[in-house]
Amino acid sequence: MRFSSRGQVDPFIVMDVMEAARAAEAAGRHIIHMEVGQPSTPAPAGARKALAAMLEKDALGYTVALGLPELRAGIAALYRRWYGVDLDPGRVVVTAGSSGAFLLAFSALFDAGDRVALGAPGYPSYRQILRAISVTPVDILTKPENRYQPVPAEIPRDVQGLIVASPGNPSGTMLGKPELAALMAVAAERDLAFVSDEIYHGLQYEAPAVTALEVSDQAYVINSFSKYFSMTGWRVGWMVVPEDHVRTVERLAQNMFICPPHASQIAALAALDCVEEAEAMRAVYAENRRLMLEGLPKAGFTKIAPPDGAFYIYADVSEFTQDSRAFAAEILERAGVAVTPGLDFDPVRGHTTLRFSYARQTADIEEGIARLAAFMAAR
Amino acid sequence: MRFSSRGQVDPFIVMDVMEAARAAEAAGRHIIHMEVGQPSTPAPAGARKALAAMLEKDALGYTVALGLPELRAGIAALYRRWYGVDLDPGRVVVTAGSSGAFLLAFSALFDAGDRVALGAPGYPSYRQILRAISVTPVDILTKPENRYQPVPAEIPRDVQGLIVASPGNPSGTMLGKPELAALMAVAAERDLAFVSDEIYHGLQYEAPAVTALEVSDQAYVINSFSKYFSMTGWRVGWMVVPEDHVRTVERLAQNMFICPPHASQIAALAALDCVEEAEAMRAVYAENRRLMLEGLPKAGFTKIAPPDGAFYIYADVSEFTQDSRAFAAEILERAGVAVTPGLDFDPVRGHTTLRFSYARQTADIEEGIARLAAFMAAR
């Protein structure tokens, strides 16, 4: 049977790493996982408890497409708590993870043949989802001296949209309010759709993270319960859209998703109140980050972007390799540490970069750093 | 901020009916719901129990994109149980409901500008999802004398794909094996992608439902836990694809969804064993159908498609109205019964049709039929 050409998306190289790590574990080796982009912890206890109770008493049928009204209100309240921003819950769209939000956002904003600018290195699925709906991603090769974030002068002329991420994946770097405002001003001036990926908000360790909504309501802001609330597999996220976009997004959501998973919405609503547990995880990541920022340079990985948030460190390893895939395989083989080659994030320059994740428990991170140091010393 | 043109999808008229029904209930009226397309029952007790147990012991992080291996194996086993078909679990893709399956299928099969044939009346979201990815739906105006199912001679020449549904929504009619084989033969001959929507399988009341896989493996077969297993809000379905399409669909799924909701997969896996509960619901629908087939003609709705399965009856009401929307509003207002105007399913001819759902409990169905009879008698 026929295939579409858009079905031909790039493979995720990290999947090969994960497969190789699984094979090594199956053969009896102990592997430290610095390749994964998810917490090792379950959803907050309060979230799981709320769902367990609801399983007894509710049919958990379809919800309305935009999500449970009380969850939309709870998310709006989070913007007051986190940023001091007043947000109309009517502008909040609950989605099937941030993936669902991207599908909805890109469908609402772009037509086949449109071109959309985004930073490289960046989250690989932006590019693949855009291509899957016949939109062309246009990479901005962001500079290490700009902390791998785009600057206004780099925005191409012939695009219809701009996607930014702060904290970024794989870099962990953030855009300050002036930098974000400068990018949004260019977008407004040129009538570009502006999409702000804020999925790692909550996980910042020094300065507070800035939401695009502090600058202007003319943005699609995307976030999720996956990272800060440790709910990756639940597939529940959200999007804040300009008021006049709500109806359009609602109709797309009715047709493309019907609704986000009901059980996950129940758990997410309760998670909003589990501040203590989420903050305890943030403290773990903060300690992990401290260990990484101390240990990686000592091991020899000195060219790293200053990671303001998320749980990643992106390292330039050009002095050691021109083939990050082979280098990652060597690290897995010889050090027993799984790391991600940069090619998933930056097809052009990722052959000389690696991403290290510190989402796991601190003991694992300590062991991983020790193994990396021994590997580099022996190399 | 800019909109895409593909964001301009048709509204669901049934949503207006549901809103009007809600408003009537808020004003103190008692409404019988014959507009909804979902069971009123929760997921099987065994499914809810399995999830409650897992909430205690598993982090429920991401699963692999194609779904839990044991769930894929369980679904494959269902094909042996239901149809006597041997199915390699490697061809089963667990999805975020049938909606997620359609998004994946259409992305894997069609490019922007392609044209895809589908029967009208039919499930409205096929058309809207196709348009959202810049593919043009081409309606086949199926005939009442063909039980609202397409026949080979009606397949347009200039299309790249064909979607069929058996049992159909809104008609409830099924394609027998010879009819299905004839349509698949044309698709194979012309190299059309063939998509078979089998979401109502399990809910048939006389002849067994035939899966496209009994005819050939050159099809995308889509099903879900929503209807037979009463798990609408869980957003978990599946798709069976030809072996050489698995990798393509996997890559798309990794990027577009990451994975189906993990908690829902756990519940769905247990649901596969809850045969008794599912069959008890089928018995309720069978009795409801008997009452409807007896009561609707007596009330005056005599032109109905013979509903082999699902929980719908589609009626030609052209002798009473040329405006199904106004007629549905009148039925809601005067009889207190919510029904769906045909326009959602057939934009061309739906102004003279209605869909009645009998998914609710039997007492509701009896009351609804009595109200409809009184309304029609007084009209």
- Taking an 8 Å cut-off on Cβ atoms, the answer to whether A133 and B128 are in contact is no
pLDDT at position A179: 98
pLDDT at position A13: 85
Q: Is the Cβ of B7 closer than 8 Å to some Cβ of chain A?
A: yes
- Taking an 8 Å cut-off on Cβ atoms, the answer to whether B262 and A100 are in contact is no
pLDDT at residue B11 greater than cutoff 80: no
Q: In what order do the strands lie in the sheet with A115-120?
A: A92-95, A237-240, A220-224, A193-197, A161-165, A115-120, A136-141
Half-sphere exposure (Cβ direction) of B170: Cα atoms closer than 13 Å? 27
B13-42+276-378 sits in which CATH class? alpha beta
Whole-number percent of chain B with pLDDT over 70 = 100
Q: How far apart are CA B173 and CA B283, in angstroms?
A: 18
pLDDT at residue B12 greater than cutoff 90: no
Contact (Cβ atoms closer than 8 angstroms) between residue A231 and residue A15 = no
- Taking an 8 Å cut-off on Cβ atoms, the answer to whether B6 and A249 are in contact is no
pLDDT at residue B54 greater than cutoff 90: yes
Residue pLDDT, tens place only, B322-357: 999 999 999 999 999 999 999 999 999 999 999 999
Residues of A in contact with B39 (CB under 8 A): 59, 61
Q: How much is the mean pLDDT over chain B?
A: 96
Q: The tokens of B36 are what?
A: 């909804």
- Taking an 8 Å cut-off on Cβ atoms, the answer to whether B7 and A107 are in contact is yes
Q: Is the Cβ of B8 closer than 8 Å to some Cβ of chain A?
A: yes
Nearest to B238 by CA among B87, B127, B96: B96
Residues of A in contact with B99 (CB under 8 A): 255-258
How far away is chain B from the Cα of A133, in angstroms, using its nearest Cα?
5
Contact (Cβ atoms closer than 8 angstroms) between residue A224 and residue A100 = no
- Taking an 8 Å cut-off on Cβ atoms, the answer to whether B255 and A124 are in contact is yes
Contact (Cβ atoms closer than 8 angstroms) between residue A171 and residue A147 = yes
Residue written as token pair 């976009």: A245
pLDDT at position A279: 97
pLDDT at position B5: 85
How far away is chain B from the Cα of A131, in angstroms, using its nearest Cα?
10
Q: The tokens of B164 are what?
A: 């069929």
Q: How far apart are CA B374 and CA B244, in angstroms?
A: 57
Nearest to A274 by CA among A36, A42, A38: A42
Every domain of chain B and the residues it spans: 13-42+276-378, 45-273
How far away is chain A from the Cα of B205, in angstroms, using its nearest Cα?
24
Q: How far apart are CA A70 and CA A52, in angstroms?
A: 18
Before A167, cis peptide (omega within 30)? yes
Nearest to A212 by CA among A177, A185, A188, A186: A177
What would the mean pLDDT of B20-41 be, rounded to a whole number?
92
Q: How far apart are CA A228 and CA A277, in angstroms?
A: 10
- Taking an 8 Å cut-off on Cβ atoms, the answer to whether B252 and A7 are in contact is yes
Q: What pairs with residue A138 in β-bridges?
A: A117
Nearest to B373 by CA among B78, B60, B32: B32
Whole-number percent of chain B with pLDDT over 90 = 92
Half-sphere exposure (Cβ direction) of B378: Cα atoms closer than 13 Å? 10
Residues 66-105 of A with CB under 8 A from B: 96-97, 99-100, 103
Nearest to A103 by CA among A264, A258, A249, A263: A249
Q: How far apart are CA B196 and CA B188, in angstroms?
A: 14
Contacts A–B by Cβ distance under 8 A: 251
What would the mean pLDDT of B301-328 be, rounded to a whole number?
96
Q: How far apart are CA B324 and CA B316, in angstroms?
A: 10
Half-sphere exposure (Cβ direction) of A170: Cα atoms closer than 13 Å? 27
The CATH number, out of the four listed (3.30.70.60, 2.60.40.420, 3.40.50.410, 3.40.640.10), of the domain defined by the range B45-273: 3.40.640.10
Nearest to A237 by CA among A16, A71, A50: A71
pLDDT at position B1: 82
- Helix, strand, coil content of chain B in percent (nearest 5): 45, 15, 40
Q: How far is CA B212 from the centre of its chain?
A: 16
What type of residue sits at position A335? A
Exposed / middle / buried, residue A82 (Cβ in 10 Å: 0-12, 13-18, 19+): middle
Q: Is the Cβ of A283 closer than 8 Å to some Cβ of chain B?
A: no
Nearest to A336 by CA among A41, A18, A33: A33
Poorest-pLDDT segment among A285-294, B33-42, B46-55, B322-331: B33-42
State phi, psi for A157 to the nearest 5 degrees: -75, -35
With vertex at residue B183, the alpha carbon angle to CA B352 and CA B143, rounded to the nearest 5 degrees, is: 20
Q: Is the Cβ of A143 closer than 8 Å to some Cβ of chain B?
A: no
Interface-testing mutation among A3, A4, A361, with chain B (most B C-beta atoms within 10 A): A4
Flag residues of chain A having pLDDT under 70: none
Residue written as token pair 């959602």: B344
